[in-house]
Amino acid sequence: MEQPIQPSERMFQDLPAALVEEALARTHQIGQEVSAALQRIRIQRETYRQQLQERRLIQRDGEVPYAPIPTTCGVDGAYAIERLLATDLVAAAAVAVEGLSPPSEQRYWEQPQHQVIIEAEPHSAESQLLVRACMMAMELSLAVRAPHEVVFLDGSLTTPLIYFNEALTALARGLPPLALSGHLLGQIESALDCYQQILRSERSDKHWVAAPKYTTRREIGSLLDWPPAYDDRGMLTTVLLPGELTLPQPLQPPEQEWHLNLNALPSPLKERAQRLYQAVVAALQQIAVLYYRPFSWLPALRIEVSSSIARNPERLALVIQALRHQCGTPSILEPYPLYLADRMVKSLASGIAAFRQLTSQQIAEQSQGEMLSEIFLALHGYRTDTGR
Query: Which pLDDT tens digit goes with each residue over 147-201?
Result: 999 999 999 999 999 999 999 999 888 777 778 888 999 999 999 999 999 999 9
Taking every pair of Cα atoms in the chain, the longest distance, rounded to a whole number of angstroms, is 78
β-strand pairing of 207-210 with 150-153: parallel
Encoded amino acid at 160, one letter: P
Closest CA to 67 of 190, 149, 168: 149
What's the mean pLDDT when you consider all of the chain? 84
Cα distance between residue 145 and residue 208, in whole Å: 11
DSSP letter (8 states) at residue 108:
S
Instruction: Determine how many CB atoms are found less than 10 A away from the CB of residue 316.
Output: 23
Asked if residues 334 and 366 have their Cβ atoms less than 8 Å apart, the reply is: no
Q: How does residue 357 score in pLDDT terms, banded at 50, 70 and 90?
A: low
- Helix (H) / strand (E) element for 150: namely strand 150-153
Phi, psi (deg, nearest 5) at residue 384 = -120, 120
On the question of pLDDT at 2 being above 50, the answer is no
- Helix (H) / strand (E) element for 210: namely strand 207-210
Cα distance between residue 348 and residue 362, in whole Å: 20
At 370 the pLDDT is: 56
* Residues written for the chain: 388
Closest CA to 236 of 293, 318, 286: 293
Rounded to the nearest 5 degrees, what angle is found at the Cα of 107, between the Cα atoms of 106 and 113? 160
DSSP letter (8 states) at residue 368:
T
pLDDT 10s digits, 213-262:
888 888 998 889 888 888 889 889 989 999 999 999 999 888 888 999 99
* List of domains in the chain: 72-348 (3.30.2170)
Asked if residues 220 and 249 have their Cβ atoms less than 8 Å apart, the reply is: yes
